[in-house]
Amino acid sequence: MYGNQRVLVLGMGDSGLSACRWLDAHGATVTVADSRQSPPQLARFQQDMPHMTLHLGPFDDMIFGGIDYAVVSPGVPISDPAIARAIARGIPVIGDVELFARWIATWPSKVIAITGSNGKSTVTSMVGHLCEKAGLKTVVAGNIGLPVLDALEACEEDRADGAGYPDVFVLELSSFQLETTQSLRCESATVLNVSEDHLDRYDGMDGYAAAKARIFAHSKVQVLNQQDVRSLGMQKPLQKVLTFTLNTPTDPNQFGLLDQGKGIQLAKGNTPLFPLIDLPLAGLHNAANTLAALALIDGADIPLASVLPHIRSFKGLAHRVEPILTLNGVTFIDDSKGTNVGATEAALKGMTEPVLLIAGGDGKGQDFTPLRDAILQSGKAVYLIGKDADAIAAVLAGTSIPLSRHDSLEAAVEAAWSNAREGDVILLSPACASLDMFRNYAHRADVFIEAAHAIAARTQG
């Protein structure tokens, strides 16, 4: 399929390396470029693929000479001047998800695709868990961690061993990935919600939402959030639509919460499905996530009866409103994956205890104003770190919420602990990216967890 193709791969992150491996294994002639002089995976690339031509430093027009198309990594903006000029000259620019989509176009496997500003990793993991527990051969990949082409390579190896095709691919897709995807065909797909994020890359919310909406280009069933204006506004006239809401369902194709006098149930239309009280994940935002997952599964023609018994065994994701420990009645909760305002807003609104919030980092151009009401609802105090600490402080000006700024996350945790009382929650939910202070959100979580355990060892020792 790739034997006579000359391909330029842009970016040496995980997906870029995955694309290089895939294309190389299938006979393409690959050149790879990275705008950084010393990308973090350079040594690995040189070890694994020493025969490939490598360009380092700012992109220029010369690297696009003599190629059939370019494969751009999600972290590389297609607005880069050299890439934009290549597109204007008619050079195709695609992503690894598009390579994946073209390869599986004739496979019998179903594809369920998830995007959104918040909740997409939880919903992706939940759908994957429920499908697998229902006995389906399931592959979960994409923005959630496993590059789609690495997943595809494993599937090809399974097929060679006689294991056949997967029953279902469950894909988490970012707006960056969707920008360069044209032909992905899905049984069901969703944009869970749209809130401010990545505005350092997009020209406003309309551009960001439009990138998300590309997930519906070839989807048989759209799953839309009845309570999110932008998600609901993506409805396409010729596609079947299922919706989800935290209100009572108003039609047979709506998933919501139903109270028939025997406790609130997750429901489809008037049909009860699962008791709200038995959800393994706390917070109404997780009820919405579960409803979205069920709508996606239903939209893919997978019987709901086969998955409902397995909701109880889903344990959620690391670093997403994850309790770490409870010390003297104070609970430390890690929500380091809350990297935008909407995620932190949802985490705060899901809390029933007083919250000492640790927030801050690189806000990527977001408007922090929505945090104000959420903090006033459940916040007891706010401890700010990172590049945009002052911007968060500004939206809380004039409130009675105590604020303090700290040079390190460890110092913020210590300050929160000194003010915490029995029944309080110390919540790390930064509403910001981590790269101004940490390698990534997982590193930020590790520092928070280590600080919490250090306090526990000191207090209990």
Half-sphere exposure of 408 (CA within 13 A, CB side): 6
- CB-based contact 178:214 (threshold 8 Å): yes
- CB-based contact 94:70 (threshold 8 Å): yes
- CB-based contact 393:366 (threshold 8 Å): no
Contacts of 113 (CB under 8 A, 6+ apart): 171, 173, 184, 186, 188, 189, 190, 215, 219
- CB-based contact 82:11 (threshold 8 Å): no
Q: List the catalytic residues.
A: 120, 143, 198
Query: How crowded is residue 436: how many other Cβ atoms within 10 Å of its Cβ?
Result: 14
Calpha distance 406→386 (Å, rounded): 8
Structure tokens at 137: 């051969």
Query: How crowded is residue 137: how many other Cβ atoms within 10 Å of its Cβ?
Result: 15
Calpha distance 188→298 (Å, rounded): 9
